Amino acid sequence: MYNIAVLGGDGIGPEVVEATITILDKLPIEFNYTYADCGDACKEKTGVALPDETIEIAKKSDAVLFGAAGETAADVIVRLRRELETFVNLRPVKSLEPDKYGDIDFMIVRENTEDLYIGDEELTPEGAIARKKITKKASDKICDYAFKYAKDTGRTQVTCVHKANVLKLSDGLFKEEFYKIAENYPDIDVNDFYVDATAMYLITNPLDFQVIVTINLYGDILSDEGAGLVGGLGMIPSANIGDNNGLFEPVHGSAPDIAGQGIADPAATILSACMMLDYLGENEQARRVENTLIDVIREGVNVTPDLGGEATTQQMAEYIASKL
């Protein structure tokens, strides 16, 4: 039995999480769900967006399934990643149905603990200062993870993304450590690009990428761009993984404009649950769910309006569950 902490969060988060649990409950696996509060409504009610009790529930679980963060995202999901010491953020960019680009399938391995994205800022008389911190330890750890991931998944190339021509000390260090780690993996081809060039290459040559490893802010931006290649944010899952914890969440936001209408696309959360199953070692069941979801999307009937159908969030989930 696996103990899963369930954090619905804000907006459409609770809807897509409950839809995903409908599917998980069809698998021959026993899950024990512990629901915990967080987010905008939680802050309004308690004064705290991420209660200590929620953090403890998350830490004691085998995995955390998260829905969506609203205005309190920095206080909830960013802090939760830090509290769980999840140093890597995995963001797959994969075509679920045929499109003009072909069969896109690459992974963005994003460092999760430092860089500008952690929000180390302060006001000054002149304006504001944000600190960008890049360390050898974190750079080595994320680069080594990227190479191991490539090796374990049969990939043959890892690309380092940086801006070392301008940020010579910080990004320069990241690039230098990347090539040091690469020496331990002689069977893996390596290259590196500036982040602005990479943004263009993702559009012009997306099939050239297999694994991208990069720092926190660049990874966040490029993964959203990657989402645009394969159907939008509603199709992109993510995994936050540390030495002892795993946190799984769709990349999309809380979409308050459609919250409560029952039309939110659950695909990204379902795929996040597949990544959770892989993390738990349930690879066969992960592929069952993923392949069934792909089949349903390609049928194009029992799917939400954004995918061309007329189904509600829960109806789409129940249809996928029935096919399992």
On the question of pLDDT at 172 being above 90, the answer is: yes
CATH class of the 100-229 domain in this structure = alpha beta
- Identify the CATH number of the domain defined by range 1-87+237-324: 3.40.718.10
- CA pair distance 203, 287, nearest whole angstrom: 28
First to last CA, the chain: 20
What contacts 99, CB < 8 A, 6 or more positions away?
230, 231
Residue with tokens 């694994």: 211
**Domain boundaries in the chain?**
1-87+237-324, 100-229
What is residue 98's predicted lDDT score, i.e. its pLDDT?
Answer: 66
Same CATH topology for 1-87+237-324 and 100-229? yes
Tens-place pLDDT, residues 218-273: 999 999 999 999 988 888 999 999 999 999 999 999 999 999 999 999 999 999 99
Tens-place pLDDT, residues 21-79: 999 999 999 999 999 999 999 999 999 999 999 999 999 999 999 999 999 998 999 89
- CA pair distance 218, 163, nearest whole angstrom: 9
Closest by Cα among 264, 324, 251 to 289: 324
Distances (CA, A) of 210 to 56, 97, 188, 207, 288: 36, 18, 11, 8, 23
Look at strands 88-94 and 237-241 and give their pairing: antiparallel
Catalytic amino acids? Answer: 117, 163, 196, 220, 224
- CA pair distance 323, 226, nearest whole angstrom: 29
On the question of pLDDT at 293 being above 90, the answer is: yes
- CA pair distance 174, 143, nearest whole angstrom: 9
Closest by Cα among 131, 154, 84 to 112: 84
One-letter amino acid at 233 equals: L
What contacts 310, CB < 8 A, 6 or more positions away?
none
What is residue 88's predicted lDDT score, i.e. its pLDDT?
Answer: 97
On the question of pLDDT at 178 being above 80, the answer is: yes
Q: What is the DSSP letter of 120?
A: -
* R_g over Cα of the chain: 19
